[in-house]
């Protein structure tokens, strides 16, 4: 199919790109939210090449394409500019198309943690590599191989530290994709925050104002929360401007006004709010150290990584610098090595326990950078915070170890990154033995809790578990004997229901093909055939057998609206799977609690015939039980 012809015909049929409020796609459908539904010509869209039918439901104009919907989507976004740089559809799936789903459900803290983790995910490997490089640089300077005053050190340090210094710019890109804002405008806003002249205003310490409004200057390099909040607000500003401005000037006036508004707004409100939170935390910690070093060490050791996540830790840096300048050491450093090492120990335990190949590979360098250099961002954002429980275990261990380390008055005599390679800075003040004990306890406790209590693992990365070869590649499997029926198994355990009973007209009418449905009782999803994975969305999988039969597994009705929440995928496009191999997992209870039907459809795309699956003999099935039988003539008939 030439989607170069489909795309303009569909766009014209929905009233043009200017009539599209947002666009996303699921496993089989383009999902338009139109500004004026009366402008859409349904008949014209259905007549477009490649379009199977149109469904208007839930405030959406859904154009059913089939298994190649991603190609149609890509062509429409190419010629229209819709998609990644425009407000996304509220139901768009996390398919890498540039559209994202709604914010996750749950309590505010859980939602915030999930958002932060997802925003860091795209560049975790870069973060891990840079963290490992920084640890290596610290090691070579400690060994005297490179002097810290040398030009070589300057170059190497810039190589390792650049990604952390300009972290707001990286976050702007992924946050914009998450919130549906323009990525380039988001980068411009983030670049303004780390602009050298803005940093100089902060370092000068002189009063700063903006048209008479006092401006509290803070350090934005390496910060996290200010830019995420700024991009979140940016997404609403852009949508408002897009609606208000005429199309003739929208493309350049919207970015101009957005940058003009968001940069001062961030510097006047969002940044200072983060700074005030940091100052409050530093005041509390300072008061606790005066009351009891052990208690203060426990509080700081347990909350340090939490403060890092929210950027509040910067409020303690001026106190540390003042302590070093006035008295030559800072007690605030006392519990920090234990806190960093605890995160490294937790991620090391994750590496040993997880079945995910990609998580194992990420955990290794993340643990090294946490242990040696105290660079915990790869461990926290890439592994522990993503899995939640290991992060909690590490915070508990950091509290215990930090309390022990600070109980002996341990303090650093230099400005350091709190890693094991920096322990020499603790030799001169307080009990070095208690410092070592605290670090050892934090490591042992964090590692032990993670290993013993475990965590909810992400699905095993089937794609990386084995490389395709003659023994595993379905493409090399023996040809099916002539005259033998092609069988499709059920991908989930549950109760078989007729496709005509499914509460979705596209599936129940057999528009995409014949098949069956299963009301699942287990959240594990397995491959119903031997074949190649041709499409992957959190809620749907497309597979193609060596004979060319394409099967769609669609989990739930309208579950694309969840944006991937409660779904975990175990395969990627292009993977080869065998019958019964895991495709992914879904939290059925959570999906149902969110108000969605979890009925799972199994469709043989473009199959001829009108057979209806009987439920009398096979009402309860286990995964990999034969569900459908496709005759050699491609007529679909029920089993039983």
Name 551's bridge partners. 543, 604
Query: Of how many residues is the chain composed?
Result: 640
CA pair distance 25, 70, nearest whole angstrom: 7
Q: In what order do the strands lie in the sheet with 550-555?
A: 576-577, 531-537, 540-544, 550-555, 600-605, 513-520, 494-497, 620-621
501-506, Cβ contacts within 8 angstroms, sequence gap of 24 or more: 502/557, 502/599, 502/601, 503/557, 503/597, 503/599, 504/557, 504/558, 504/601, 505/55, 505/57, 506/28, 506/29, 506/53, 506/55, 506/62, 506/64
Catalytic residue flag (residue 526): no
Catalytic residue flag (residue 329): no
Kindly give the residue spans of alpha helices, DSSP state H, lying in 328-379. Answer: 336-353, 357-373, 377-379
Q: What is the dihedral of CA 201, 204, 207, 210, to 10 degrees?
A: -10
Instruction: Identify the H or E element spanning 629.
Output: strand 626-630
CA pair distance 467, 298, nearest whole angstrom: 47
Render the burial of 368-404: b for 16+ CB within 10 Å, e for the rest.
bbbbbbbbbbbbbbbbbbbbebbbbbbbbbbbbbbbb
Q: Which member of 26, 329, 539, 623 is catalytic? A: 26
CA pair distance 578, 473, nearest whole angstrom: 8
356-364, Cβ contacts within 8 angstroms, sequence gap of 24 or more: 356/457, 356/458, 356/459, 356/460, 356/461, 357/460, 357/461, 357/464, 357/465, 358/461, 358/464, 359/383, 359/458, 359/461, 362/124, 362/125, 362/128
Render the burial of 117-140: b for 16+ CB within 10 Å, e for the rest.
bbbbeebbeebbbbbbbbbbbbee
CA pair distance 532, 476, nearest whole angstrom: 11
User: DSSP secondary-structure letter at 397?
Assistant: H
User: DSSP secondary-structure letter at 98?
Assistant: S
Q: Which member of 25, 329, 539, 554 is catalytic? A: 554
Q: What is the largest CA-CA distance in the chain?
A: 89
Coil, helix or strand at residue 553? strand
Unique residue bearing structure tokens 């937790």: 346
- Main-chain phi, psi angles of 362, to 5 degrees: -75, -35
Strands (E), 169-309: 208-210, 213-215
Measured CA distances, 608 to 66, 603, 638 (Å): 15, 12, 13
Unique residue bearing structure tokens 């208007």: 56
| Cβ neighbours, 10 Å, residue 440 | 15
Unique residue bearing structure tokens 């098949």: 515
Where in the sequence numbering do the catalytic residues fall?
26, 554
């Amino acid at each position: 199919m030439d989607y170069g012809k489909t795309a303009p015909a569909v766009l014209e049929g929905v009233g043009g790109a200017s009539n599209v409020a947002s666009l996303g796609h699921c496993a089989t459908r383009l999902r338009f939210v139109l500004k004026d539904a009366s402008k859409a010509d349904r008949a014209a869209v259905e007549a477009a090449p490649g379009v199977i039918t149109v469904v208007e439901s839930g405030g959406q104009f859904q154009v059913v394409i089939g298994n190649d919907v991603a190609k149609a989507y890509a062509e429409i976004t190419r010629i229209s500019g819709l998609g990644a740089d425009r407000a996304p559809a509220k139901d768009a799936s996390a398919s890498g198309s540039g559209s994202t789903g709604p914010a996750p459900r749950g309590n505010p803290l859980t939602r915030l943690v999930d958002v932060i983790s997802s925003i860091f995910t795209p560049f975790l490997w870069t973060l891990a590599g840079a963290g490992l490089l920084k640890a290596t640089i610290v090691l070579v300077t400690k060994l005297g191989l490179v002097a810290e005053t040398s030009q070589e050190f300057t170059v190497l340090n810039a190589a390792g530290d650049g990604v952390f210094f300009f972290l707001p710019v990286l976050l702007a890109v992924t946050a914009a994709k998450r919130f549906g804002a323009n990525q380039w405008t988001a980068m411009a806003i983030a670049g303004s925050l780390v602009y050298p002249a803005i940093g100089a205003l902060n370092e000068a310490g002189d009063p700063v104002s903006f048209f008479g409004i006092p401006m509290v200057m803070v350090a934005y390099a390496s910060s996290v929360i200010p830019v995420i909040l700024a991009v979140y607000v940016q997404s609403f500003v852009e949508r408002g401007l897009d609606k208000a401005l005429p199309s003739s000037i929208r493309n350049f006036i919207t970015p101009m006004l957005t940058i003009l508004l968001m940069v001062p707004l961030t510097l006047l409100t969002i940044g200072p709010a983060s700074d005030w939170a940091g100052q409050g935390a530093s005041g509390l910690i300072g008061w606790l150290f005066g009351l009891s070093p052990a208690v203060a060490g426990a509080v700081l050791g347990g909350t340090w990584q939490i403060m890092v996540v929210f950027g509040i830790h910067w409020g303690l840096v001026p106190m540390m610098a003042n302590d070093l300048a006035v008295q030559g050491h800072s007690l605030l450093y006392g519990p920090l090595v234990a806190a960093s090492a605890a995160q490294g120990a937790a991620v090391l335990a994750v590496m040993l326990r997880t079945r995910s190949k990609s998580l194992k590979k990420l955990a290794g360098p993340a643990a090294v950078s946490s242990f040696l250099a105290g660079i915990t961002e790869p461990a926290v954002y890439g592994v522990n915070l993503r899995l939640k429980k290991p992060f909690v275990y590490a915070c508990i261990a950091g509290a215990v170890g930090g309390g022990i380390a600070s109980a002996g008055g341990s303090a650093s005599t230099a400005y350091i990154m709190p890693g094991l390679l920096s322990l020499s800075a603790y030799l001169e003040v307080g009990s070095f033995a208690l410092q070592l004990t605290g670090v050892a306890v934090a490591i042992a406790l964090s590692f032990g809790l993670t290993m013993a209590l475990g965590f909810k693992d992400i699905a095993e990365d089937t794609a990386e578990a084995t490389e395709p070869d003659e023994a595993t590649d379905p493409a090399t499997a023996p040809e099916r004997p002539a005259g033998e029926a092609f069988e499709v198994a059920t991908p989930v355990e549950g109760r078989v229901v007729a496709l005509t009973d499914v509460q979705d007209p596209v599936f129940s009418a057999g528009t995409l093909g014949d098949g069956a449905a299963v009301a699942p009782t287990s959240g594990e999803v397995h491959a119903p055939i031997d074949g190649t994975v041709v499409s992957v969305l959190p809620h749907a999988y497309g597979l193609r057998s060596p004979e060319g039969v394409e099967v769609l597994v669609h989990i739930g009705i309208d579950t694309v609206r969840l944006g991937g929440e409660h779904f975990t995928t175990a395969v990627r496009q292009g993977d080869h799977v065998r019958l019964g191999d895991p495709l992914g997992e879904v939290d059925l209870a959570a999906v149902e609690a969110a108000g969605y039907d979890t009925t799972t459809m199994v469709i043989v795309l473009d199959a001829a015939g009108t057979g209806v699956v009987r439920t009398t003999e096979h009402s309860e099935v286990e995964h990999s039980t034969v569900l459908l039988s496709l005759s050699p003539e491609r007529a679909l008939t029920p089993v039983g």
